[in-house]
Structure 1
Amino acid sequence: MPSTKEKFVFKITVIGDGMVGKTSLIKKFTQGSFQTDYIRTIGAQFSKYKQNIEGDTCTLSIWDIAGQDEFFFLRPSFYKESKAAIIVYSLEDNQLGKDSFKHISNWHNDIKKFCGKIPLILLGNKVDLIDKNILDESKMLKLAQKREFLGHFITSALTGEGVIKAFQVIINELYHKYKKLDDFLKMKV
């Protein structure tokens, strides 16, 4: 249970296929670092991050959920109490990129099934590995609008491009949503 100072505690779940860079994105955002060696997530990993917004401290519990199929049975328990989710896919022009883009709908349906209508953003990661001139953002934006994502962001965990901006959108959305609720409840007392 959060203390009175920590009234804004949010669980954000990061999902997507294995090897799309979920762990690296979280590390870049929370620690400012990038690890070159791939270490597979087993089940889930957890990171904490604190940020002040308008004089209030927001504590984020960021859950990095393994994307490999063998962990599918664990996901519902990991999704519980998520206040928002980030779906990550790879922009790479290879099978991983194609498959991870195709699977966005599956991840979207999965999180909606267990969490209902929570704020979602979509991240196309690994932009540093492709030629930006051939990037067709219209297809991605169309999908983001159709699925009612708060936004679509092009990111690179290696360079940091788009990472902070993407996380800030979801954090600000949560803060303002729950700040309104907190203010409303104070008025009722």
Structure 2
Amino acid sequence: MKLKFKITVIGDGKVGKTSLIKKFTKGSFKQDYIKTIGAQFFVFDQEINEDKIRLLFWDIAGQVDFNFLRTSFYNKSDAAVIIYSLEDNNFGKKSFNHIFDWYNDISKYCGEIPVVLFANKVDLVDQYNFDDSKIQKLVDKHNFLGFYRTSAKTGEGVNEAFNTIIKRLYNTYKHLS
């Protein structure tokens, strides 16, 4: 059996969307930042229980300049990943505050699809002083599949986070093909 899923990856510019996808699909990380123009896609094949799965990751530019294009890229998404930065600075706070905007955007154009939240750049913060209660409230309120602390640089949490959404899609749709 072969299944195909479109997973849309969204969040503010510079939160690490492209880097996380590359870490998951290629095992690589590049320190240099290159802005995504519009959207990029990555194809990744995976097997679960001998079923072949083709994953189409749509990496959507997060900068405001691309708002006019964004909604056309959401079309036919099977799931979404919202990424924000854990950086303890203005940028990190802004990206956290925009989670709800991203969620509303994807919900408006895709309906009720599974959504996972990635708290990226965990390698840049002191995890022992990190309070999950604020983010857990957001996860519960919007019925996200969960949230994961990730680092594209070290790989921490990346496979677990992506595999959560992939397994959900597989378990939901395997009987339909």
Matched, 1:64 2:59: yes
Task: Provide, for residues 165-187 of structure 1, a one-character-per-residue CA deviation record: whole Å limited to 9, x for no partner.
Answer: 000000000011001333xxxxx
- In structure 2, how many angstroms separate the alpha carbons of the residues matched to 1:122 and 1:160? 16
Task: Provide, for residues 91-121 of structure 1, a one-character-per-residue CA deviation record: whole Å limited to 9, x for no partner.
Answer: 0001110000000000000000000000100
Structure 2 residue aligned with 1:11, among 6, 12, 28? Answer: 6
What RMSD over aligned residues (CA atoms) do the two structures have, in Å?
A: 0.8
What's the secondary structure of 1:58's corresponding residue? Answer: strand
What is the 5 A alignment of 1:1-189? 6=2, 8-182=3-177
How big is the shift at 1:133? 1.6
- In structure 2, how many angstroms separate the alpha carbons of the residues matched to 1:90 and 1:157? 11
Task: Provide, for residues 26-84 of structure 1, a one-character-per-residue CA deviation record: whole Å limited to 9, x for no partner.
Answer: 00000000011000000001001000111110000000000000101111110001000
Give identity over the alignment, percent. Answer: 60
| Matched residue count | 177
- In structure 1, how many angstroms separate the alpha carbons of the residues matched to 2:159 and 2:128? 23
Task: Give 1 or 2 for the bigger CA radius of gyration.
Answer: 1
- In structure 1, how many angstroms separate the alpha carbons of the residues matched to 2:170 and 2:41? 20
- In structure 1, how many angstroms separate the alpha carbons of the residues matched to 2:176 and 2:137? 31
Stretch moving more, 137-146 or 38-47: 137-146
Task: Provide, for residues 138-175 of structure 1, a one-character-per-residue CA deviation record: whole Å limited to 9, x for no partner.
Answer: 11111111111001000000000000000000000001
The gaps in structure 1 that reach 5 residues or longer are 183-189
| 4+ residue runs over 2 A deviation | none
- In structure 2, how many angstroms separate the alpha carbons of the residues matched to 1:103 and 1:23? 18
What's the secondary structure of 2:93's corresponding residue? Answer: helix
What's the secondary structure of 2:81's corresponding residue? Answer: strand
Q: TM (normalized to structure 2)?
A: 0.98
- In structure 1, how many angstroms separate the alpha carbons of the residues matched to 2:171 and 2:68? 33
Corresponding residue of 1:185: none
What's the secondary structure of 1:45's corresponding residue? Answer: strand
Q: TM (normalized to structure 1)?
A: 0.92
